[in-house]
A and B are shown apart, each in its own frame.
Chain A
Amino acid sequence: NAGVTQTPKFQVLKTGQSMTLQCAQDMNHEYMSWYRQDPGMGLRLIHYSVGAGITDQGEVPNGYNVSRSTTEDFPLRLLSAAPSQTSVYFCASRSGAEQYFGPGTRLTVT
């Protein structure tokens, strides 16, 4: 099992550009989520999904879109990047109560 994978590892965007952060898991977990990690703020939930076709907002959803067309994939879209979205993004999936995190994507918006 590869577990939770994320691409790209690093990305630099200019303000206003759009991009999609990819997340995939091969553990057949129904629940997947996206967090951002900022210095001094800890990790905060952006969006989550409890199964294919079902998504919901977390604590900091503004500026981000998600969709869940398959159990395996949960992409995070930034429609118009802003400097405030500079952060490290983590995707996670869950089996029961235990969460499994991907290696993260470090995003810089200039």
Chain B
Amino acid sequence: KQEVTQIPAALSVPEGENLVLNCSFTDSAIYNLQWFRQDPGKGLTSLLLIQSSQREQTSGRLNASLDKSSGRSTLYIAASQPGDSATYLCAVSSMNNNAGNMLTFGGGTRLMVKP
């Protein structure tokens, strides 16, 4: 059974810092990995999607990498801003879970960026 772990569970940084959020998964037979942002009391917003054949994806100040063989992904946020404060969720679509029709989520990293 696929398991996804995110470390750290919570992170507080001063504005302007570069930071890295970590995601690990136990089954490397994945179709893709997706990073989401969730604001308090809101739904999930997709940030970056990495297909299993890709190594990284970039969007603005965000860069996500994928090392499928070691079961790891990182989300790099450059020059953090208070508006980046949210919970960041990592999710994988696994070949062995409902033929990829199910996302397995990590518990999330709660990020606070202080002005």
Give A residues with C-beta under 8 Å from B.
4, 31, 33, 35, 40-45, 48, 50, 56, 58-59, 90, 92, 97-104
On chain A, the residues within 8 Å of B105 by CB distance are: 42-44
Interface flags for B16-39 (1: CB within 8 Å of A; 0: not) read 000000000000000110101000
Give the nearest-CB partner of B32 in chain A. Answer: A97
User: B59 at interface (Cβ–Cβ under 8 A)?
Assistant: no
Give B residues with C-beta under 8 Å from A.
4, 31-32, 34, 36, 41-46, 49, 51, 89, 91, 93, 98, 101-103, 105-108
Give the nearest-CB partner of B100 in chain A. Answer: A97
What does DSSP make chain B's interface, helix, strand, loop or mixed?
Answer: strand
- State in angstroms the CA–CA spacing of A100 and B105 once bound together: 15
B103 touches A97 (CB 8 A): no
A99 touches B107 (CB 8 A): no
